[in-house]
Structure 1
């Protein structure tokens, strides 16, 4: 499946403005030592931690469409929001630097977790290290990249309400701001992963791997703001692929996350003139969140160490670490067995690892 064939697969996507921040597809790599260590399926990894912009990550695909939309509307400033260690905010700021735009960030303090084991509702005891110190990880990069404004609000604040309010303040100063949602996860941002579905199917074919459920057991990925999972589900549906896209939730229980993902799947499908996507295509497992978003769990710590020590690949503690913990548990419980093939999507976020070192003490 070549480039022209990919574009023909999603004709509505060709008409959408887009910037390019990555030079070519990200690698799809086999992980033989991890696969052997787990004694389960053959595991492959899609390296979206190697996407373009500062330190990479899945938000780069979303921003190619979101920033193009902002530029088409005449924006000279980007305003967005996220956690104090937000990968999305880092990459939005990096895109602003690339485009010569101003960028203002509205951040939310992390939940405070005492420096010691505490009981969590889903996975038992939580590891320490949930409240990162200032000026580490992504927060350091906000300073190095020179954000024009950084506001840190208390936990539980309405970040997007403040972002809209800030945008209005900037308009009164003569700026032309574009507000980008948390995680870049609206129907525009999710187009990045509808497109990625075709890139991934092309790579499966190049590696002699199947592109249907009867040959590929699942694609496993973190599920948070939902744009990556929703875009992939819609893109695979458009391509006629039946590979399950299994989200591992990082912030919500299953009963809350799946409707969120489905709503975005429907919005993307409508945007791309696709037929409705069956609700059962959305699976977002809530068993691995632990005590809360961005709060460590022992299973996450183990997963990060296993990936590092078997394959030399670093995961982050908020997204990919918990998603990998979910994958490892599913393998150990026999959900994916020795005859299966699974693709794990690395969504990036590694700078956050250096802000949460206490979790690994």
Structure 2
């Protein structure tokens, strides 16, 4: 595979791949492993780091002095793009879309970090705004001031950003080999699409045959699978992989989405409490909480039957829990005991 694109390095180590022994035992299904990409470099960690290594390198190559990007009110991507800008000595402007939540500059979590890290501009727009157009407007404003902006795709969700998880797939395969385990399945949050697409491309191009399943956090199944597959087709070309990657390689579940983006379900909260109280692992209510709820649900349905080792990609998002503390704590703490008694 050709991965000769310019790249910055924001994580100077390999993130751990760990066996969740207590969770696996409690669920009575396959061995559940976790890839700790919540520990990746840049402020607060998370999967966007791998994408930004390629995207920011491209921005620097083009001579940009300002990064422009967009996301929801508690956007991990906005936080980490801003952190990358700080690290590179660039400015950063954010377009914050109020999807199901109003923006309050006094909020905790990522909103607090937007201010602490020193975003040059935070422009708040209502849900449904054409954010791509808004980013172009900001870019034009910079041009008029003699500056050069670089638009970072929402969530880093394009074919260039996906290269981060083509690399990530290779890292996972090497780790698993060194640990002497054979992975049968990968489960990832599926949102802006770049992480999911990069994993599909990386594992397919490697010839590993490991299936990747996405748990939707924003869109319904058909729309999300189409979005991810469109990125896969372009990412395949970027790495000069000539074989067609079949549409069937992209699979999502939307049963764990709930009412919409960043709206947790009871199952989301149960997963957050369960992982905290069994593995000391923090999940967020937007991405990883829903994904773990999906893994638990799929284990209970027998989706992984006959498979021994399943890997959960922890994409980070930890700062979001601090913007949702009261809501998380309101939910029943007895779920862990109930689960133990039912097994």
Specify the TM-score bucket, using the shorter chain as the normaliser: over 0.9
Unaligned runs of 5+ in 2: 331-343
Partner in structure 1 of residue 51 of structure 2: 62
Partner in structure 2 of residue 117 of structure 1: none
For 1:342 and 1:133, locate their aligned partners in 2 and report how far apart those are by CA, in whole Å: 39
**Contact 1:80/1:181 (CA < 8 Å) preserved in 2?**
yes
For 2:251 and 2:106, locate their aligned partners in 1 and report how far apart those are by CA, in whole Å: 35
For 1:290 and 1:33, locate their aligned partners in 2 and report how far apart those are by CA, in whole Å: 27
- 1:75 paired to 2:64: yes
Distance 1:161 1:325, change over 3 A: same
Say which SS state the counterpart of residue 258 (structure 1) adopts: helix
Partner in structure 2 of residue 188 of structure 1: 160
Q: CA deviation at 1:108?
A: 0.8
For 1:251 and 1:132, locate their aligned partners in 2 and report how far apart those are by CA, in whole Å: 22
1:17 to 6, 11, 14: 6
For 2:11 and 2:282, locate their aligned partners in 1 and report how far apart those are by CA, in whole Å: 20
Distance 1:357 1:321, change over 3 A: same
For 2:239 and 2:54, locate their aligned partners in 1 and report how far apart those are by CA, in whole Å: 14
Q: CA deviation at 1:339?
A: 5.5
For 1:132 and 1:148, locate their aligned partners in 2 and report how far apart those are by CA, in whole Å: 17
Q: How many residues align?
A: 328
Partner in structure 2 of residue 297 of structure 1: 265
TM-score (norm 1): 0.89
- 1:355 paired to 2:337: no
- 1:313 paired to 2:294: no
Following superposition of structure 1 onto structure 2, how do residues 6-155 of structure 1 map, counting pairs within 5 Å? 10=1, 12-13=2-3, 15-112=4-101, 134-155=106-127
Say which SS state the counterpart of residue 190 (structure 1) adopts: helix
Q: CA deviation at 1:132?
A: 7.8
1:172 to 144, 154, 161: 144
Q: CA deviation at 1:131?
A: 8.3
Partner in structure 2 of residue 4 of structure 1: none
For 2:268 and 2:184, locate their aligned partners in 1 and report how far apart those are by CA, in whole Å: 23
**Contact 1:132/1:355 (CA < 8 Å) preserved in 2?**
no
Q: Which 10-residue stretch deviates more, 237-246 or 43-52?
A: 237-246
Distance 1:358 1:160, change over 3 A: farther
Render the CA deviation track for 1:226-278: whole Å, top value 9, x for unaligned: 10010011111111111110000001111111111111000100111112101
Report the RMSD for the aligned CA atoms in angstroms: 1.4
For 2:306 and 2:31, locate their aligned partners in 1 and report how far apart those are by CA, in whole Å: 7
For 2:327 and 2:30, locate their aligned partners in 1 and report how far apart those are by CA, in whole Å: 29
Partner in structure 1 of residue 314 of structure 2: 346
Say which SS state the counterpart of residue 81 (structure 1) adopts: strand
TM-score (norm 2): 0.93
Partner in structure 2 of residue 213 of structure 1: none
Render the CA deviation track for 1:291-347: whole Å, top value 9, x for unaligned: 000001000000011111110000111000000000000111122248521000000
Say which SS state the counterpart of residue 188 (structure 1) adopts: helix
Q: CA deviation at 1:135?
A: 2.3
Which structure has more relative contact order (CA 8 Å, sep 6+)? It is 1
**Contact 2:55/2:160 (CA < 8 Å) preserved in 1?**
yes
For 1:144 and 1:245, locate their aligned partners in 2 and report how far apart those are by CA, in whole Å: 36
Partner in structure 2 of residue 264 of structure 1: 231
- 1:285 paired to 2:257: no
Distance 1:146 1:315, change over 3 A: same
For 1:134 and 1:252, locate their aligned partners in 2 and report how far apart those are by CA, in whole Å: 29
